[in-house]
Amino acid sequence: MTLPLLVVTAVAAEAEAVRAGADPGHVVVEPVGVGPAAAAAGTARLLATGRYRAVISAGIAGGFVGRAAVGSVVIGVRSIAADLGAETPDGFLTVDELGFGSGVIPGDPALVKSLTEALPTAVPGDVVTLSTVTGTAATAERLARSYPQAVAEAMEGYGVAVAAHGLPFAELRSISNPIGPRDRAQWRLKEAFAALSTASAALWIACG
């Protein structure tokens, strides 16, 4: 018997969007909470059952301007804990630079490749994980400079990647808004949820 794919989201609305497109016979979708800590704990609890063959962190996200447009889908090549580190007078030091481990976890190469082939219009790139989402142009510019391969910002991917602990992992996001000042008039949640549902239809094809 082939084990199912586990897809974890932050909130129920994202889970419903994934379920609307995914094959229920082969894909299990569960919301695990907002932020990297809740995502890691919730994912670890589910994976401890040994019932799953791979895990994907999915949901909506903010897109880096000029890299991922609102309404598009992105595939995380790497999930990066972008605010895990220390402030110094000379700027932010990542946990890698501090020598305390790594804040960068690559997606499983085979899984990322399969997703990219199944979703040819999706944008591949890094997805940064933040506990506090960006709300200013200055922070958006700093992140864009620090992570030139980043296409999206979300709150759970790195936590899910830590919990995966050897299982194939990837991140799949649809873009609801540009990263920067929190202008709700620019958000397109309906379009992002629709894009997430459409992309989810390819999950089992990609991961089967």
Q: Is the pLDDT of residue 180 over 70?
A: yes
Kindly report the length of the chain: 208
Q: How many CB atoms lie within 10 A of CB 205?
A: 14
Q: Which residues constitute the domain of residue 90?
A: 5-207
* DSSP helix, strand, coil percent of the chain (3-state; round to 5): 35, 30, 35
Pair type for strands 27-31 and 54-63: unpaired
Residues 19, 21: Cα–Cα separation, whole Å: 5
Question: How far is residue 190 from each of residues 70, 71, 174, 175, 197, measured CA to CA in Å?
Answer: 11, 9, 11, 11, 11
| Across 22-41, average pLDDT | 96
The identity of residue 153, as a single letter, is E
**Residue for token pair 């999206």:** 152
Comparing C-alpha atoms, which of 128, 129, 130, 156 is closest to residue 41? 156
Q: If you average pLDDT over every residue of the chain, what do you get?
A: 94
CATH number, residue 157: 3.40.50.1580
The pTM score is 0.94
pLDDT in tens, 66-122: 999 999 999 999 999 999 999 999 888 999 999 999 999 999 999 999 999 999 999
pLDDT digits (tens, 9 = 90+) for 90-101: 888 999 999 999
Instruction: Read off the tokens for 43.
Output: 């994912």
Q: Give me the number of domains the chain comprises.
A: 1
pLDDT surpassing 70 at residue 3: yes
**Assigned token pair, 68:** 């991922």
The per-residue pLDDT for 208 is: 63
Amino acid type, 98 = L
